[in-house]
Structure 1
Amino acid sequence: MTTGFIAGAMYLAILFVGSVPFVLLATIIAVITLLELAAMKHISLRSPGVLLSAAFTAALVFAAPFLKGSEFQTYFIRLLVLLVLVLLAAVVFSKNRFQIEEASFLFFFVSYIGFSFYLLAQLRLESLLLVLFVQITMWATDSGAYFVGRKLGRHKLAPHISPNKTVEGSIGAVAAAFLVAAVFQFIIRRPLFASAGLFVTVTLIISVLGQVGDLAESAVKRHFGVKDSGDILPGHGGFFDRFDSLIFVLPVLYLAGMIS
């Protein structure tokens, strides 16, 4: 409990500061998240493939203050093409100690983690209120799912992936998200979105697809037979555990044209 409170307070403090400090924090979290995934896959963190993948992840996220829109899209594509070539070269020159399956795994998660945390950094550079809205609505979703599921949960949501999640908890998560989102919108006293319909759509995406992101992370952990993605936050797991929903939702908002 204490660890979670301190970590959350530090995160929010740097979030409010914004600018390069938050971009740097997002970069560090993204790199550690990638390392957690590599560790789950039992790839040596000292292997050239992992070290190169961590560097490429950092290069993606830290581009936020310098590139956006079409400029970033070109940079992103070229960086990923280069990463493919570098990882294949690592397979060759390691004499197959670093294998093609590991290279594919790292490429997938550099793309996913790096792009999602780039979006988080870019969103903060553009609007403190909007990134707070997304973050707080996500936290409300997690809390609603936990407390309602614990109190009223009867029907399993996805027992093959996460046995503790329930349909009632999922419904409670959406209800909590809308309640907190509405209160946040009322407190700031100016609309974040062009219409009530857009407000509802964004809140629904954050809450519903945030839960999908949580289940996706549970599926990854279940595949590798681990309870937590890491132990950097004692009692709360790793960064992949803490940011699983957010890193799934941000690309969806991007594809829907709601963030850039």
Structure 2
Amino acid sequence: MSELLKRILFAVPAAILFIYLTWLGGWYFKGFIILIGFFIQQEMMRLLAGSGNPTDQYFPYTIGLWIMLFPVIPYAFEIGVMILLLFVAIQTFSTTDDGITRLTSTFFAGIYAPVGLLSLMLIRDMGTNEAGFLLTIATVLMVWGNDVFAYFGGKNFGKHKLAPAISPNKTWEGFFSGYVGCFAGLWIAFFAVPFETGLTLALALPLIIFVGTFGPIGDLIESKIKRKAGAKDSSDLLPGHGGFFDRFDALLLAAPAAYIYIRLIQELDYVTF
């Protein structure tokens, strides 16, 4: 079976499942996203260890769960402070030679992916069920569109390297093509999802810049970690797609960027959901 066929056979049912759980919202969506978060953290911890930056075995999950549940758990700040105190105390008295490395890499593995996924959950919880669904699907489709257009734009027109030391195949031509893909994803979301949300296409257009800029940065940071670890993929859990980190790397920064913009226009009273 070819790699392309593997990708398609996995991607279609996975996309249907994602859209269905996004529509259901609530804990169906949150539970799904939290599970994805744990898989991403596991892959990150393995890559960081392979790059010479090992993490604590358990605290990344503890920190990540705290972040992803922060809006809904009681005494969230106090619980976070307790986790911080306990973790720093344990690392302070650790006798291993890589104690400081474990301290910093554990925080990165614990915070990075959960913050991005929390942002996606916060977008889903915005306004009515219909509004949250549209905003979430629009964000995801923009990331997918950016990825597809950047790939084909770079393949057909790429001449100037974007970050050759990190990802030699990425070009500036592909990067700017990604903005076109973001627009395509946004347009599809607005006209394929038949709900009125109060957000016009014109008001949503700046999302193209936010998603189209920070999505590729998320892709590059994963590439940088994989290159240091000497790994091609974050794992082989997803047939034809590598690992969860490979599939969600761009979304981990694109979702926070999209959330910030949406919250900004809400606070300025440009839109009400």
Q: What is the TM-score normalised by the length of structure 1?
A: 0.83
Task: Give the residue type in structure 2 aligned to 1:91.
Answer: Q
1:133 deviates by 0.7
Look up the match of 2:215: 210
C-alpha change, 1:186 and 1:112, in structure 2 (3 Å) is: same
Which residue of structure 1 aligns with residue 15 of structure 2? 8
C-alpha deviations, 1:58-110, integer Å up to 9, x for none?
2321344x26xxx9xx83x5454333322223325654377231121111231
What is the alpha-carbon distance in structure 2 between the residues aligned to residue 202 and residue 191 of structure 1? 16
Partner Cα separation in structure 2 for residue 236 and residue 195 of structure 1:
31
Is 1:33–2:40 an aligned residue pair? yes
User: More displaced, 167-176 or 183-192?
Assistant: 183-192
Distance 1:168 1:79 in 2: 46
SS at match of 2:249: helix
The one of 228, 244, 258 equivalent to 1:239 is 244
| Inter-partner Cα distance in structure 2 for 1:125 and 1:189 | 16
Residues 47-126 of structure 1: matches in 2 within 5 Å?
Answer: 49-64=56-71, 66=72, 75=76, 78-92=78-92, 95-96=95-96, 99-126=99-126
Tell me the CA shift for residue 21 of structure 1.
1.1
* Residue equivalent to 1:141: 146
Maintained 8 Å contact 1:35/1:50: no
More displaced stretch, 213-222 vs 87-96? 87-96
Of 171, 177, 180, 1:175 maps to 180
Among 150, 157, 163, the alignment partner of 1:152 is: 157
| Code of the aligned partner of 2:34 | T
The structural deviation recorded for 1:164 is 1.0
One-letter amino acid of the counterpart of residue 193, structure 1: L
Q: Secondary structure at the match of 1:50?
A: coil
Mapped partners of 2:25, 2:125: distance in 1: 7
Q: Report matched runs for 1:163-202 at 5 Å.
A: 163-187=168-192, 188=194, 190=196, 193=199, 196=202, 198-202=203-207
Counterpart-to-counterpart distance in 2, 1:48 and 1:105: 5
Deviates more, 1:217-226 or 1:48-57: 48-57
Check 1:12–1:52 CA distance in 2 against 1; reply closer, same or farther (3 A cut).
same
Pair 1:230 & 2:235 matched: yes
Deviates more, 1:198-207 or 1:129-138: 198-207
- C-alpha deviation, 1:137, in angstroms: 1.0
| 1:30-81 alpha-carbon deviations (Å, 9 max, x no partner) | 11111111111228xxx993223213312321344x26xxx9xx83x54543
TM-score for both structures, normalised by structure 2: 0.80
CA 1:237/1:48 → structure 2, altered by over 3 Å: closer, same or farther? closer
Q: Which amino acid aligns with 1:133?
A: A
- Aligned-partner residue type, residue 107 of structure 1: F
CA deviations on 1:88-146 (whole Å, 9 max, x unpaired) are: 23325654377231121111231222222112122222211111111111111011111
**Mapped partners of 2:226, 2:79: distance in 1:** 28
How many residue pairs get aligned? The number is: 249
Q: Compared with structure 1, are the counterparts of its residues 180 and 8 closer, same or farther at alpha carbon in structure 2 (3 Å cutoff)?
A: closer
Q: Structure 2: how far apart are the matches of 1:173 and 1:192?
A: 26
Q: CA deviation at 1:161?
A: 0.8
Corresponding residue SS for 2:205: helix
Code of the aligned partner of 2:44: L
Tell me the distance in 2 between the aligned counterparts of 1:121 and 1:180.
19
* Change in CA separation of 1:51 and 1:97 when aligned onto 2, cut-off 3 Å: farther
Is the CA contact (8 Å cut-off) linking 2:113 and 2:252 kept in structure 1? yes
Choose from 16, 22, 25 the match for 1:18.
25
Spell out, residue by residue over 1:155-191, the C-alpha distance to the aligned partner (whole angstroms, 9 max, x if none). 2221111111122211221112113312432343646
